[in-house]
Structure 1
């Protein structure tokens, strides 16, 4: 293991990326694996956590936009997806990541809004 100091590394989550500067730690010369020192590990993890929260926020905004386009309220959206009474609010605010099926359903309904009538009958 070889020490490294003050490097910039990129953290990614889905399509989001962030550069984290000033990282230090150890790197394996054979495989390239990295072990950050404690302060660097914490900053790298914080950057990754921030990307997760940003992704949740973006999905929530997308769900809100589609829901409003469909002219349904959060209670109706929750009923369509089988969630609890405040589930959609939590998705839209980014407090909770919606299941992929919910995101896919609303993206499909955006393209085919007439299908909402069929879902309401089910």
Structure 2
């Protein structure tokens, strides 16, 4: 198998051919294996160049992983919201503060939910009893009490 110079690091004759390799493609914390890849790898910097069919399969696997992840996240958002007996509107009001149709867009996989919101939804899925705390937290009674206290301190200083 022939060797050629690395386009990335310029190492002469460092590109070594390979066949039948399995590599993972990643999106966020999600991965998918792509098998039977072929191409060249630099012995100096580890840069990989796929042959044309492998490059196409690897790219397609990445695209499919992204689409599959978006659909799974959308389905999870909908499942958890329904489990918690939230409407899309109440979910927005309690959890995200986003636009009035944010959850609709999340659940149709049109827009990816912000990571903190998705993590919160998954946490509520595991601990649905915490959903009751959302009303209390969103009422901001504790924050309003702190604001009143701050105002009283300011008035006392004058």
User: Offset at 1:120?
Assistant: 4.6
**Structure 1 stretches of 5 or more lacking a match?**
none
Structure 1 residue runs of 4+, over 6 Å off?
A: none
**Greater radius of gyration (CA):** 2
Question: SS at the partner of 1:19?
Answer: strand
SS in 2 for 1:95: coil
Going from structure 1 to structure 2, the CA distance change for 1:87 and 1:38 (only over 3 Å counts) comes to farther
Residue 114 of structure 2 is aligned to residue 99 of structure 1: yes
Does residue 116 (structure 1) correspond to residue 130 (structure 2)? The answer is: no
The answer to whether the 8 A contact 1:20-1:47 is kept is: no
* Unmatched runs of 5 consecutive residues or more in structure 2: 1-14, 141-158
- Equivalent pairs, count: 121
TM-score by length of 1: 0.78
2:74 aligned with 1:60: yes
**Conserved 8 A contact 2:25-2:61:** yes
Tell me the distance in 1 between the aligned counterparts of 2:17 and 2:65: 27
Deviation at 1:27, TM superposition (A): 0.9
Q: Is this contact kept in 2: 1:20–1:43, CA < 8 A?
A: no
Where does 1:46-57 land on structure 2 (aligned, <5 Å)?
A: 46-57=60-71
